[in-house]
């Protein structure tokens, strides 16, 4: 295959992030054909979807071989942690995303905390435990509130901010002795609670080379005013003007560079997205966590804002050629508002018919996250986060107005959304 031959591409996953990835690749001149597994109704409007689960490593490798796939983009964290990229490489198939050793940076919060402390990357103080009694002894002298994290993957919900000693002890017992997060919570990280404003940085990494993508800010909590339990994300916007040029320079020098160098020093050949959660504290930026894939819903705004072909960036990273790229960004703001099912992140209804607008405006996209087809062929709800309504604008208010106007045209019985996505940013800009 010559360097310029368009590639057959497989997108692994079924959420809003994967819809955004598929949408970008379908538009790319570098793609001959794009397929997804398992995909969703929104993705199926753009490309063929195959009913292979994202955690079925053998099934995904077999699908890639059968469909003559040249390049695989892995969306979710679970297949990365399970070694999908390792298995694809054994078949000679190029993939975007870290191998299992890199996936561990998200799959184990304790592993990451040790790496952060070892390489002197700013982060909160912490201690790890797998026995309840030892954890309780530690909590006796702790300051509150304090953060208790399940070590393993917990779909973005394994972080509890305990307001006092009793809640911390109860949380530790639920995780280690109970089944609050299954095997993911059998070891816990008890961590200093950091104060400030949270933001995230997406870094495309290829060994020692990296590209920092535009800034963005997610809204994790379910209720307006950042109240209530954490979710997978209720909306996001980009750029986040909270991070000015001086602060970004500091983040790059104190966090990004030593993170990329530290990961490489551990013998991990990381080729994928390093998604760094950061708290801007009074002492400066500190790392909350690493994720090893694109954020959801941040992907929906980041890829929308890229002027450089996103597939070209991911392909260069996978090939170890990232250093040659000059990545450029549109001079526009983007916002995504998540339409959720009422009751999320707890119990919520499924199977509700969704009514969509007949037309979507220019620079507007409805990304599917938790949807499926029913037997009649209608698109119905199938998850807590159902759709990611995304819009670009010359400024944040324009992007917000367009996104919310589109949200109001979409109907399903239990539709719930936050009306304050980007509110802090908009207030700063006034």
Instruction: Tell me if 44 is assigned to some domain.
Output: yes
Q: Give pTM, 2 decimals.
A: 0.93
Q: Is 388 a member of any domain?
A: yes
Is residue 126's pLDDT more than 80? yes
Do residue 292 and residue 400 come from a single domain? no
User: With 80 as the cut, is the pLDDT of residue 181 above it?
Assistant: no
Confidence band (pLDDT; 50, 70, 90) for 312?
A: very high
111 falls within a domain: no
Cα distance between residue 75 and residue 412, in whole Å: 27
Q: Which run of H or E residues covers position 183?
A: none
Least confident range of 2-11, 160-169, 223-232: 2-11
- pLDDT attached to residue 98: 98
Domains of the chain: total = 4
Residue 281 CA to residue 300 CA, distance in Å, equals 27
User: What mean pLDDT is predicted for residues 247-260?
Assistant: 97
Enumerate the β-bridge partners of residue 321: none
Token code pair at residue 166:
């009793």
CB 338 within 8 A of CB 415: no
CATH number of residue 167's parent domain: 3.30.1490.20
CB 204 within 8 A of CB 302: no
- Give the pLDDT confidence score for residue 420 in this predicted structure: 97
The reply to whether 409 falls in a domain is: yes
CB 215 within 8 A of CB 243: yes
What CATH number corresponds to the domain at position 37? 3.40.50.20
The CA distance from 51 to 39, in Å, is 8
Task: Please report the DSSP string for 271-295 in residue order.
Answer: EEEEEEEEEEETTEEEEEEEESS--
Tell me if 372 is assigned to some domain.
yes
Same domain (yes/no): 221, 251: yes
Query: Would you say residue 105 lies in a domain?
Result: no
The burial of 363, by beta-carbon neighbours within 10 Å (0-12 exposed, 13-18 middle, 19 or more buried), is given as middle
C-alpha 67, offset from chain centre:
27
Q: What's the average model confidence in pLDDT over 166-195? A: 87
What CATH number did the domain enclosing 245 receive? 3.30.470.20
Interval 250-257 mean pLDDT: 98
Residue 382 three-state SS:
coil
Residue 93, classed as helix, strand or coil, is: coil
Separation of alpha carbons 197 and 219, rounded Å: 11
Which pLDDT score, from 0 to 100, does residue 13 have? 98
Nearest to 194 by CA among 121, 119, 284: 284
Q: Among residues of the chain, what percentage have pLDDT more than 70?
A: 98
How far apart, in whole angstroms, are the C-alpha atoms of residue 218 and residue 275?
A: 12
Asked if pLDDT for residue 2 goes beyond 90, the answer is no
Whole-angstrom distance, CA of residue 132 vs CA of residue 362 = 55
Q: State which of 275, 306, 324 marks the end of a domain.
A: 324
What's the pLDDT score for residue 3? 65
Q: Average pLDDT in the 114-141 region?
A: 95
List alpha helices for 91-189, DSSP H: 100-107, 109-118, 132-140, 165-176
Residue 114 lies in a domain: no
Q: For residue 156, what pLDDT is reported?
A: 63
Q: Torsions phi, psi of 301, nearest 5?
A: -90, -35
Residues 160 and 238 in one domain: no
What's the CA gap between 340 and 323, in Å, rounded? 39
Q: Same structural domain for residues 206 and 180?
A: no
pLDDT confidence tier of residue 157, bands split at 50, 70 and 90: low
Query: Is residue 360 located within the same domain as residue 422?
Result: yes
Tokens of 246: 């001086």
Q: Which of 97, 120, 142 finishes a domain? A: 97
Q: Are residues 228 and 156 in the same domain?
A: no
160 & 252 share domain:
no
Q: Looking at residue 159, what is its pLDDT?
A: 86
Tell me the pLDDT tens digit for each residue of 345-402.
999 999 999 999 999 989 999 999 999 999 999 999 999 999 999 999 999 999 999 9
pLDDT tens-digit map of 72-89: 999 999 999 999 999 999
pLDDT at position 205 over 50: yes
Copy the structure tokens of residue 360: 């979507």
Query: What band does 268 get if pLDDT is binned at 50, 70 and 90?
Result: very high
Same domain flag for 320 and 223: yes
pLDDT (tens digit per residue) in 97-110: 999 999 999 999 99
The domain containing residue 414 runs over which residues? 333-429
Measured at the CA of 258, the angle between CA 253 and CA 259, to 5 degrees, comes to 115
Q: Does the residue 3 lie in any domain?
A: no
Question: Based on the domain organization, do 313 and 341 belong to the same domain?
Answer: no
- As a whole number, the mean pLDDT across the chain is 95
pLDDT value at position 289?
Answer: 93
**Domain at 393, CATH number:** 3.90.600.10
Residues ≥6 apart with Cβ < 8 Å to 391: 334, 335, 361, 363, 364, 365, 399, 400, 402, 403, 406
Asked whether residue 290 falls in the same domain as residue 344, the answer is no
Place of tokens 């050629």: 321
Q: What is the pLDDT of residue 1?
A: 46
- The reply to whether 201 and 292 lie within a common domain is yes
Q: Which class for 159: exposed (0-12), middle (13-18), buried (19 or more C-beta within 10 A)?
A: middle
Instruction: Judge if 230 and 308 occupy the same domain.
Output: yes
């Amino acid at each position: 295959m010559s360097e310029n031959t368009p590639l057959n591409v497989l997108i692994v996953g079924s959420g809003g992030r994967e819809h955004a990835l598929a949408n970008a690749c379908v538009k790319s001149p570098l793609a001959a054909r794009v397929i997804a597994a398992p995909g969703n109704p929104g993705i199926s409007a753009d490309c063929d979807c195959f009913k292979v689960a994202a955690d079925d490593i053998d099934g995904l490798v077999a699908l890639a071989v059968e469909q003559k796939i040249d390049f695989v983009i892995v969306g979710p964290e679970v297949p990365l942690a399970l070694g999908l990229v390792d298995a694809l490489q054994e078949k000679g198939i190029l993939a975007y995303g870290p191998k299992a050793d890199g996936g561990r940076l998200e799959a184990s919060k304790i592993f990451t905390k040790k790496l952060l402390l070892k390489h002197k990357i700013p982060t909160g103080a912490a201690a790890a435990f797998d026995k309840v009694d030892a954890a309780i002894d530690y909590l006796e002298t702790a300051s509150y509130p304090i953060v208790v994290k399940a070590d393993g993957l917990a779909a973005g919900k394994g972080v509890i901010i305990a307001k006092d000693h009793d809640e911390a002890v109860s949380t530790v017992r639920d995780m280690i002795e109970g089944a609050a997060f299954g095997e993911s919570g059998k070891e816990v990280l008890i961590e200093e609670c950091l104060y400030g404003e949270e933001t995230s940085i997406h870094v495309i990494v290829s060994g020692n080379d990296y590209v920092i993508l535009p800034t963005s800010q997610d809204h994790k909590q379910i209720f307006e005013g950042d109240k209530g339990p954490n979710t997978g994300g209720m909306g996001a916007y980009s750029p986040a003007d909270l991070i000015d040029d001086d602060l970004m320079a500091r983040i790059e020098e104190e966090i990004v560079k030593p993170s990329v160098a530290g990961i490489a020093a551990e013998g991990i050949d990381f080729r994928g997205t390093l998604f760094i959660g950061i708290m801007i504290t009074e002492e400066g930026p500190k790392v909350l966590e690493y994720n090893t894939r694109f954020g959801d819903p941040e992907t929906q705004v980041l890829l929308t804002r890229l002027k450089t072909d996103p597939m070209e960036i991911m392909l260069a990273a996978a090939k170890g050629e990232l250093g040659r790229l000059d990545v450029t960004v549109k001079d526009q703001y983007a916002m995504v508002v998540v339409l959720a099912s009422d009751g999320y992140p707890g119990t919520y209804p499924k199977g509700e018919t969704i009514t969509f607008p007949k037309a979507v405006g220019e620079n507007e996209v409805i990304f599917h996250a938790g949807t499926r087809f029913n037997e009649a062929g209608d698109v119905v709800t199938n998850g807590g986060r159902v759709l990611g309504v995304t819009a670009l604008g010359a400024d944040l208010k324009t992007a917000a107005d367009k996104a919310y106007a589109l949200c109001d045209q979409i109907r399903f019985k239990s539709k719930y959304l936050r009306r304050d996505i980007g509110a802090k940013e908009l207030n700063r800009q006034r």
